[in-house]
Amino acid sequence: MGVVKIPVIESIDILLRPFTLNDAEAMYNNWASDSEVAKYLSWDAHKNIDETKFVIANWIDQYNSTSFYHWCIEYVPSKEAIGSIGVVHINHNENSAEIGYCLSRSYWNKGIMTKALRLLVDYFFSETDFDKLVSYHDNDNFISGKVMQNAGLPYRQVPYLLLKAVESVTVPLQTFLGESTTVCVLH
């Protein structure tokens, strides 16, 4: 597999595009420094803009790899970076990708993340060789589960599942994720 070229993916009101260093201020101000946004994520809220610049620079370097898929979510009407979405883990044995996302609180409950997730599902199943997409959320973050459900992933307490062309499968997650985690799998 060669270097992944991150495409720009468009809808009427959002644009998924590669990050640039010019996004640092918006990312820091809109979501990266917000502890409420970071509450259920694998990273802590950024303490200063230099931390955000470092993260973006790292992502930009990774755009030259064979397996890095990460987009800035730009709100088209304001041309402002408002969130991020992308692959946080690839399981090569299962040919699957785990999707993670975060969004500025100012844009919560407007359907934006659902649109972004739908765009990525369409992209991954039409333009890549992945057989399965997975996304997790803490059960206390039920809104993230609603995003998954509204993006077309049927709700299951543990886990969420949707097959690309076949049928649903349930995998008990308590054994390796703990009771407070829900997963969404797309085949």
Flag whether 154 is in a domain: no
Per-position DSSP letters for 159-181, written without gaps between them: -EEE-SSS-------HHHH-TTE
Domain count, the chain: 1
Distance of alpha carbon 24 from alpha carbon 30, whole angstroms = 10
Flag whether 33 is in a domain: yes
pTM over 0.75: yes
| Domain harbouring 86, CATH code | 3.40.630.30
Flag whether 168 is in a domain: no
pLDDT tens profile 13-69: 999 999 999 999 999 999 988 888 888 777 888 899 999 999 999 999 999 887 899
Flag whether 170 is in a domain: no
Higher pLDDT, 132 or 169: 132
Distance of alpha carbon 47 from alpha carbon 174, whole angstroms = 33
Q: What is the mean pLDDT of the chain?
A: 80
Flag whether 186 is in a domain: no
Which domain does 45 fall in, by range? 9-131
Cβ-proximal residues to 47 (8 Å cutoff; 6+ apart), any chain: 33
Flag whether 103 is in a domain: yes
